[in-house]
Amino acid sequence: MWVCSTLWRVRTAARQWRRLLPASGCHGPAASSYSASAEPARVRALVYGHHGDPAKVVELKNLELAAVGGSDVHVKMLAAPINPSDINMIQGNYGLLPELPAVGGNEGVAQVVAVGSNVTGLKPGDWVIPANAGLGTWRTEAVFSEEALIQVPSDIPLQSAATLGVNPCTAYRMLMDFEQLQPGDSVIQNASNSGVGQAVIQIAAALGLRTINVVRDRPDIQKLSDRLKSLGAEHVITEEELRRPEMKNFFKDMPQPRLALNCVGGKSSTELLRQLARGGTMVTYGGMAKQPVIASVSLLIFKDLKLRGFWLSQWKKDHSPVQGADPHTVRSHPPRPTHSPCLLPGPAAGLPVCFGSLHEALHVFKADSHHVIIPKEPE
């Protein structure tokens, strides 16, 4: 609940952003080459000068737009989401903190307006997303270095592109890196209606994996279940149903999962562990319940279960290209056999490959647009 209330307060600030930017087309005027102006351009941004409650420390400010250097790219933000990691960063309790003052927002999609003379990989009109967290996407325009951006297809939904940088890649890496899953294997996850959860459902379905998706009970549970199943979920169950003794009969018709994905912690994570097959792995990538993961000693000993953690920012550091090396030939985990050549072509190294190898999936990936800010161009 604390995340939801904080998101609501930050969206209030975001609405101020919208009000100061009168509505017109999302994509704005056509991109053009850079030309120097006598007056420095100014942009609107949601800025915080110190850590604390986002509703109190985030302010809407006018910032000066930096000049475009030889290796720089001038972009116009098309959309940027608000998610828990953004809130944690502003509060100061995230694993990666930018220098203050800072612009909020870790994700988003922008359109290239102009490029410097040394930029070779991007051109005006291209869509780009941040290569790393902390870039500051809650602004109308910005000038970034070329290496800070990754090009993405411009023919995918705007909300999907805006939320592509963290959740789908987190889902993809967790599905690929911890267990050698094959079509027909099952995966169990909690908070299945979260951004990562929805990405897991869609990517797993494309890989031929069966998903058991745990959600909190609610009055409109059937509506939520239908929506997740429309994305590819095979089973949707509540936390209460997961705790019932009858769950042991659930796996008569499907294999026990060898992979569990946990972003809740507490009792929910304990229940996931109980459903794992012998030798299985539970990967924790969040702790929305703000409670520790409690693992049964008997499960660890007699089922030889493994507990792992995952943080995409660290994964990117571990797989960043060696300076001077071809980014498609840098070190990586041994390549996995692909389940679908049309879904998973390309080399298996580096974050850009997370997008390249999922190129086809990007065209069907559906993002939850509830927390996405879409700034409007002034008339």
Catalytic positions: 94
Using a 10 angstrom Cβ sphere, with 0-12 exposed, 13-18 middle and 19 or more buried, the burial of residue 304 is: exposed
What is the Cα–Cα distance from 340 to 344, expressed in whole angstroms? 6
DSSP 182: -
* β-bridge pairing 72-81 and 372-373: antiparallel
DSSP 28: -
- CA triple 180-182-185, angle to 5 deg: 100
Cis preceding linkage at 347, omega within 30: no
Type of residue numbered 132: N
Query: Is the distance from CB of 70 to CB of 117 less than 8 angstroms?
Result: yes
Helix (H) or strand (E) run with residue 361 in it: helix 359-362
- CA triple 94-112-320, angle to 5 deg: 45
